[in-house]
Amino acid sequence: MNVIPAIDLLEGRCVRLYQGDYTQAETFNEDPVAVAEEWVSQGATRLHLVDLDGAKTGQPTNHAAIGAIAKAVNVPIQVGGGLRSRDTVAALFDLGVERAILGTVAVENPQLVAELCGEFPGRIAVGIDARDGKVATRGWLETSEVKATDLAHQMAQLGVATIIYTDIHRDGTLQGPNKAALREVAEIVSIPIIASGGVSSITDLLGLLGLEPLGVTDVIVGRALYTGDVVLKEAIQAIGPGRIQDIPPDFGNSTFA
């Protein structure tokens, strides 16, 4: 299982939110390029970037920072936030981004998702951000009536490369991932799932290994890396492809939340 560091961008700064609340943005570094380079130096093989301004307004605004990161590191980066048209997705790819993450548009315009999957095969992901099992949109400011599991099934049918599942109530809280919800989504689709939200420790990461046989292939870690609760090198050693021993498939089942 790959560990993917998250870099959330707000007005060009590297920040973390608490449960998606923009009023609770904590700045960790004014230089996101330096942050990206640090994570790569510790062994990251992919970076997860979110344009928080774009997610909120519907128009990506952190292109300068994203482009600078893409030029500075030699690993693939995936970016989400405000991607609601073909042109905004293409503009990201022009910057050197490897994968675009669609969110709101997956709910509001699934036909566009299908078209983008056809035009950019293997490069389109969908971020499903769930609040009490329902999909949140527009920078998590609105909650739809669409069930996360229904959207996951639909997006898999349309040809997206992967689904990034985030439990909003866990995001930025260091309370552990919602493994029960991840299992529910993973069991209904055959494409890879990336877990996101709530990771607070190496123990949390080890618990996710029980979902790897179901297709949860990666995990995004944010706040825990910035607070030092998780050390990236240690996390990669614990659950990465080169780990010494696999964890049994039923590991952690008794602690599903």
Q: Which two tokens stand for residue 151?
A: 């959207």
CA distances from 176 to 9, 155, 172, 195, 228 (A): 23, 26, 10, 11, 15
d(CA 236, CA 243): 8
From 53, 129, 167, 204, active-site residue: 129
Q: Is 129 designated active site?
A: yes
Residue 128: alpha-carbon gap to chain centroid? 9
Query: For 132-215, where are the E strands, in sequence order?
Result: 134-137, 142-147, 162-167, 193-196
Q: Which two tokens stand for residue 222?
A: 């944010």
Determine the Cα angle at 247 with ends 128 and 250, to 5°.
Answer: 70
From 8, 167, 171, 204, active-site residue: 8
Q: Is 171 designated active site?
A: no
Residue with tokens 């021993």: 245
CA terminus-to-terminus distance, the chain: 20
CA distances from 27 to 40, 127, 138, 223, 227 (A): 20, 23, 22, 11, 12
Query: For 148-239, where are the E strands, in sequence order?
Result: 162-167, 193-196, 216-221
**Nearest C-alpha neighbor of 166 from the set 230, 97, 216:** 216
The residues annotated with a catalytic role in the active site are 8, 129
